[in-house]
Amino acid sequence: MAERRTTSRRDVVPDAGVDLHLELRGPRLRAGLTDALRDAVRSGRLAPGTRLPPTRTLAADLGIARSTVTECYGALIEEGWFTARPGSGTRVAARVPSRPDATAAPRRPARAQPSRGLQPGAEDYAEFPRGPWLAAARRAFATAPHSTYGYGDPLGRPELRTALAEYLARARGIHADPAHIVITSGFHHGLGVLARALGTRGAATVAVEEYGLDIYRGVLSDAGLDTRPVEVDEAGARVGQLHDVAGAAAVLLTPAHQFPTGYALSAQRRTAVVDWARSTGGVVLEDDYDGEFRYDRRPVGALQGLDPDHVAYFGTASKAVAPALRLGWVVVPGRLLAAVAQAKGRVDTVSALDQLVFAEFLASGAFDRHVRGRRQKFRRRRGELIETLARVAPSVQVIGMAAGLQAVFALPAGTESRVLRAAGRQGLVVSGLTEFRHPAAGGRPSWGDALVVNFSNVSDSAWPGALRALSRALPPLL
């Protein structure tokens, strides 16, 4: 039976902290004390700013070693629950929510407030290039024509479409006529526009990768399109299965760096999917979501370069600069341009002013410099993450190539859910590979248990703590 210890401090010495009642459950004293203190904060029994008992006093009350209490306090300080200052003792951090209103309706027990988000999709927004962006804005507005302040072309500002055509040709191997570039408010918006355009042409089914973001499958479903999964392995999507997807009018792929498994579409499969599109009249929807971030060698060119007539290329400023810009673009095959223009609407829905600034940001070289700086930082971060993993959990394998903004850790079978819970107890938000699998994917999953860890969204000051927290979450469970 699990051990249970209870103490109530009644004879309190001066400046010894609060009179504290704790219940310790389980065979491991340090883990039990840590959980008990967290519960005391969550429930409001320990309010923000409350001074904790000295380690010697609490250890004596509980009948345990002082070193156990010291380790527990130290862990909770790292997680952000407690703070410590010389001469002030250890206190409950001010950021922790205070006691709920007693008159409020009962709620389920609160989960630990995550202090470090390592989940895919998030970023460190402190990295926004404020100075270069302001400089680009000054230059853009100083020369902006009066037409900038009107409704504009529904397909986007000509300055940005021209700048993008030059950049994409140089950096991603795209064949892009500015007249075929449509500006959107991000990938979500662009995918919705293409989905509606496909629907007007009679499309009913779109193939998607077995593993991917459910939000994008939802965009296609909202447009009335059925999504059917194709499997993913170490060579990317198994595009040969497209011939078995009845009525597929298009396929949504992440060929530069499959999300979330981390592998590029092989050369053989790149050719095969283009051949499929040519033979069936289908369309490849190419999501180049982090094509700029490859660390082992020069990035592979975009799939669109193989056949601009059958590949619609999607890109955004969200990962490279910031999602708040709400700027994306689609390089549209000529045969779809009229349908896409109709689906997008008669009025531009993307800020013309932001388009003008981003065009200047691109043309001046500021975008290239910003991406190079982030690429160097993320290469270093990925290396530190892998080094930490090799040291604390050598049985865990890193899969995928050196690219993107997240790394995938292949876990022993049956451990994914336990690792996620352990990470949550350390204040970490991470994702399991299972959550990205298409709900209609049948049979045995192509991939086993794995952890998807984003290394781009933690500030430099918080990064060492995030690595330590991850180190504590993994070893006991593997």
pLDDT in tens, 45-100: 888 888 888 888 888 888 888 888 888 888 888 778 888 887 778 888 886 544 44
Look up the CATH number of the domain holding residue 454.
Answer: 3.90.1150.10
**Does 123 have pLDDT greater than 60?**
no
> Are 357 and 431 contained in the same domain?
no
Look at residue 101 and tell me if it is in a domain.
no
Query: Has residue 9 been placed in a domain?
Result: yes
- Residue 255 and residue 265 in contact, taking contact as beta carbons nearer than 8 Å: yes
Q: What is the pLDDT of residue 46?
A: 86
pLDDT in tens, 145-158: 888 888 888 999 99
Rounded Cα distance, 115 and 118, in Å: 10
Quickly state the pLDDT bin for 298 (edges 50, 70, 90): low
Residues 192 and 322 in one domain: yes
Do 197 and 319 fall into the same domain? yes
Range of the domain at 188: 128-365
pLDDT of residue 111: 42
Residue 231 has pLDDT above 50, yes or no: yes
219 lies in some domain: yes
**Do residues 392 and 347 share a domain?**
no
Contacts 24+ apart (CB under 8 A), 10-14: 13/57
Q: Domain for residue 186, yes or no? A: yes
Mean pLDDT on 272-300: 88
- The tokens describing 173, both together, are 């191997």
Residues 428 and 413 occupy one common structural domain:
yes
Q: Which helix (H) or strand (E) holds 170?
A: helix 158-172
Strand, helix or coil for residue 51: strand
Tell me, yes or no, whether 55 lies in a domain: yes
CB burial of residue 172 (10 Å; 0-12, 13-18, 19+): buried
Domain end (from 311, 337, 365): 365
Distance CA 212, CA 223 (A): 18
Highest averaged pLDDT of the listed ranges 29-33, 117-121, 169-173, 272-276: 272-276
CA distance 355 to 475: 48
Q: For 243-257, 295-309, 321-335, which range has the lowest pLDDT when averaged over its residues?
A: 295-309
Q: How far is residue 84 from each of residues 46, 116, 425, 459, measured CA to CA in Å?
A: 15, 19, 21, 21
Mean pLDDT of 383-390: 91
* Structure confidence at residue 110 (pLDDT): 38
Residues 37, 183, single domain; the answer is no
Residue-level pLDDT at 86: 76
Q: β-pairing, 428-429 with 116-117?
A: parallel
pLDDT at 395: 86
pLDDT given for residue 105 in this prediction: 41
**Are residues 238 and 357 located together in one domain of the fold?**
yes
Contact of 7 with 61, CB cutoff 8 Å:
yes
Question: Are 194 and 293 in a shared domain?
Answer: yes
Joined tokens for residue 189: 């918006």
428 bridge partner residues = 116
**What is the DSSP-derived secondary structure letter of residue 177?**
-
| pLDDT of 303 | 94
Pairing mode, strands 406-410 and 450-454: antiparallel
d(CA 117, CA 268): 37
- Whether 31 is covered by a domain: the verdict is yes
Tell me the average pLDDT across 32-49. Answer: 85
- Residues 217 and 267 both lie in one domain: yes
For residue 17, is pLDDT > 60?
A: no
Q: Are residues 337 and 234 part of one domain?
A: yes
Neighbour count for residue 147 (Cβ, 10 Å):
12
Q: Please indicate, yes or no, whether residues 8 and 49 belong to a single structural domain of this protein.
A: yes
**pLDDT attached to residue 60:** 84
With 60 as the cut, is the pLDDT of residue 101 above it? no
Mean pLDDT of 394-400: 88
H helix intervals, 333-445: 337-344, 352-363, 366-392, 416-425
Question: Which range, of 59-68, 97-106, 230-239, 399-408, averages the lowest pLDDT?
Answer: 97-106
87: alpha, beta or left? (left if phi > 0; alpha if psi -120 to 50): left
Measured between alpha carbons, how far is 282 from 266 in angstroms, rounded to an integer? 20
Alpha carbons within 13 A on the beta-carbon side of 468: 12
Of the residues 341, 365, 389, the one at which a domain ends: 365
Strands 4-8 and 21-25, by their bridges, are: antiparallel
User: Which has more confidence, 194 or 117?
Assistant: 194
| Helix residue ranges, H only, 201-286 | 214-222, 267-280
The CATH number linked to 294 is: 3.40.640.10
Cα–Cα distance for residue pair 455/381, rounded to 1 Å: 6
| 51 dihedral zone (left: phi>0; alpha: psi -120 to 50; beta) | beta
What is the total count of domains within the chain?
Answer: 3
Provide the pLDDT for residue 19. 65
pLDDT band at 342 (very low <50, low <70, confident <90, very high): very high
Residue 108 in any domain: the answer is no
| Mean pLDDT across the chain | 85
Residue 335 predicted with pLDDT over 70: yes
Whether residue 112 is predicted with pLDDT greater than 60 in this model: the reply is no
Q: What tens digit of pLDDT does each residue of 219-228 get?
A: 999 999 999 9
Percent of the chain topping pLDDT 90? 51
- Is residue 68 assigned to a domain? yes
One domain for residues 216 and 196 = yes
In which band, very low, low, confident or very high, does the pLDDT at 119 lie, cut at 50, 70 and 90? low
pLDDT class for 26, splitting at 50, 70, 90? low
With CA atoms as reference, report the closest residue to 458 among 127, 120, 128, 123: 123
Prediction pTM value: 0.74
- Spatial contact of 210 and 232, defined as CB atoms under 8 Å apart: yes
Instruction: Give the Cα separation of 81 and 37 in Å (integer).
Output: 9
CATH number at residue 25: 1.10.10.10
pLDDT score of 121: 53
**Residue at which a domain ends, from 319, 338, 365:** 365
* Residue 363 identity: A
- Region 103-112: mean pLDDT is 40
